[in-house]
Amino acid sequence: MTSAKISVGEKDYELPLVVGSENEVGIDMTKFRAQSGVISLDPGFGSTGSCQSAITFINGEEGVLRYRGYPIEDIAENASFAEVSYMLIYGNLPNKTQLEEFSSKLTQHSLIHEDMKKFYEGFPASAHPMAVLSSMVGSLATYYPEKDEDGFDLNIIRLLAKAKTIAAFAYKRSIGQPFIYPQNNLSYCGNFLNMMFAVPSEPYTVDPVLEAALNKLLILHADHEQNCSTSTVRLVGSSHANMFASMAAGICALWGPLHGGANQKVIEQLKYIQRSGEDLQKFVDRAKDKNDDFRLMGFGHRVYKNFDPRARILKKSCDQVLSKLGVDDPLLDIAKKLEEVALNDEYFVSRRLYPNVDFYSGIIYRAMGIPTNMFTVMFALGRLPGWIAHWYEMRQDTSTRIGRPRQIYTGPAARDFVPVAKRG
Ligand code: SDX
C-alpha cells in the first residue's frame, strides 16, 4: 500500500502515503488542493496530522506512551527529570558526562535577572500563577537574544532553569513571602521545593519523598506529541517567533480547563462532590446529561481509548506518596469510587472514557502542599522540555513551512457598501 485514491466528482486523485516507524499511515495531502482545488476539513484535527516527529509515540487504543522509544513506565521509575529533558530535546539519554554538564548548566542559570523581580510587583497577589508564568516566560525575550552564536542551546538551558524559579517566585508573591533563591547544591526538584516552601526564618530540608514524587510527576507530564499546547508552540514557532514567545503561547493554551487546566478543575470538582454529600451516581448521571454542562474533569481523552498509562502510574503513586507522608485525603477515596462508578457505566464504557493524566495528579500535589491554583503551573513545568523538543525539532527541519490552515467560508456573498445614513 503506497498511495490513496480520492475521488472528487468525476475526477480521481492519487496521493502518496507516509508510513511512520510504528507503522502509522498518513495520506500526504500537501499537493491535494493544488491538484483538485479542494481542501480537507477536520475541525479539532481528530483525523489530521500536522507533522512527522521522532519525539513521542502514543498508541491510544493500547494505552502505550514512549518518549524517544523509552516506555513511560521505565523512565518514570528510573530516570531523573533532567535526564528525560535532555533525552526529549537531544534524542538520546545523556551519558554521565553529558548529564553532569547539562545539570550543572541548569543550576548555573536558575536565577532570573534581578530587574525581573520588579515585574511581580505589577501583578495583584490574587493573580492566577499561569498568567504570571506566561507573562514572565514571554518577558525572558526582553533579556536574551533570539539565539546565541552556538544556536538555541543556551536559551534551552535558560528556559528550563528559570521556569521553576519564575513559578516558585509567583507562589511566594501570592502569599506575601520573600522570594527564596535557588541553591546550587540542590537538584532541579529539590531546588523548586526549597524555593516554594523555605522561609528565611528557619532552615528547610528537602524531603526525599517529595523530591522523588515531584520528579515522577514532571517526567509523566514531559511530553505528549501533538496535544493542544504543543501544537500551539509549533504553530507559533513556525513563524520563526522566538523560543520564549512560543513557550508563553504554549503556557496559555495549556491553561484551558479542557487541557492542562483540568487538574485544578478535578480537585475543585472532588471538593464540590465532597461538600454535597450526594451519591456519586448523581454526578456521573449529570456528566452524561447533554443538557447539563457538568463533565467529569480528568476523564476522557482525544487519543487514549484505553487507560492513560500516566493515570495508572499516578493512581499507584497516590497510595505510595500519601502513605509515606502519612496523609489521609478523603478526596482520593472519592476519586477512586468515582472512577469505579464511571467505568461501570455504559455511557463511559461505550465512549471509552477513562481517567486521564489530570485525574489523580492533583491529589499528590495537594499532599505535597502545593496550592490548587498552582497545579497547572506544575503541568507546565513538566511539559516545558516537551514543548522545547518539538520547537527545536521543527526549527532544525529547514523544510518546515509556516503553519497556515485553510477554511470553508460560510459568510455572505459579495455585497455593496451602504452608507450609515441609508441603512435601515
Ligand atoms: C490533557 O491531547 C493530549 O494529549 C492532552 C493531554 C496532554 O498530556 O497534553 O493528555 C492532557 O489535556 C488531558 C485532558 C484533560 N481534560 C479533561 O479532563 C476535561 C474533561 N475531558 C473532556 O472535556 C474531553 O474528554 C476531552 C477534552 C479530553 C477530549 O475531548 P474530545 O476528544 O473532543 O471528545 P468529545 O468531547 O468529542 O467527547 C466524545 C464523547 C462526547 O459524547 P457524545 O457526543 O459522543 O455523546 O464523550 C463525551 C462527550 O460528551 N465525553 C464526556 C467526557 N469527555 C468526553 N462526557 C462526560 N465527561 C467527560 N469528561
C-alpha cell belonging to residue 11 = 475526477
CATH code of the domain covering residue 23: 2.20.28
109 is catalytic: no
- Report yes or no: 180 and 194 within 8 Å, Cβ to Cβ: yes
C-beta 365 within 6 A of ligand 1: no
Structural domain tally of the chain?
Answer: 3
Mutate-to-test residue for ligand 1 from 301, 306, 359, 360, highest number of ligand atoms within 8 A of CB: 301
Confidence of residue 231 (pLDDT cuts 50, 70, 90): very high
Q: Is residue 385 part of a domain?
A: no
Confidence of residue 149 (pLDDT cuts 50, 70, 90): confident
Shared domain check, 343 and 296:
yes
Q: What is the pLDDT of residue 5?
A: 97
Q: Is residue 204 part of a domain?
A: yes
Q: What is the pLDDT of residue 2?
A: 86
* pLDDT of 222 higher than 90: yes
Shared domain check, 318 and 246:
no
* pLDDT of 1 higher than 90: no
C-beta 301 within 6 A of ligand 1: yes
Mutate-to-test residue for ligand 1 from 58, 219, 270, 356, highest number of ligand atoms within 8 A of CB: 356
Residues 40-59: tens digit of each pLDDT: 999 999 999 999 999 999 99
CATH code of the domain covering residue 238: 1.10.580.10
Q: What is the pLDDT of residue 150?
A: 84
Residues 88-130: tens digit of each pLDDT: 999 999 999 999 999 999 999 999 999 999 999 999 999 999 9
C-beta 72 within 6 A of ligand 1: no
CATH code of the domain covering residue 343: 1.10.230.10
Whose CA is closest to atom 5 on ligand 1? 227
C-beta 58 within 6 A of ligand 1: no
Domain that residue 362 falls in: 262-303+311-367
150 is catalytic: no
Cα 241 to Cα 229: distance, rounded to the nearest angstrom: 16
- Set 221, 224, 301, 390: catalytic member: 301
- Three-state SS at 285: helix
Q: Specify the amino acid at residue 272.
A: Y
Q: What is the pLDDT of residue 205?
A: 96
Shared domain check, 227 and 268:
no
CB atoms within 10 A of CB 344: 10
Q: What is the pLDDT of residue 119?
A: 98
Shared domain check, 141 and 47:
no
State the average pLDDT over residues 258-285.
Answer: 95
Confidence of residue 27 (pLDDT cuts 50, 70, 90): very high
Q: What is the pLDDT of residue 129?
A: 98
Shared domain check, 219 and 74:
yes
Cα 50 to Cα 52: distance, rounded to the nearest angstrom: 7
State the average pLDDT over residues 208-215.
Answer: 97
State the average pLDDT over residues 239-268.
Answer: 97
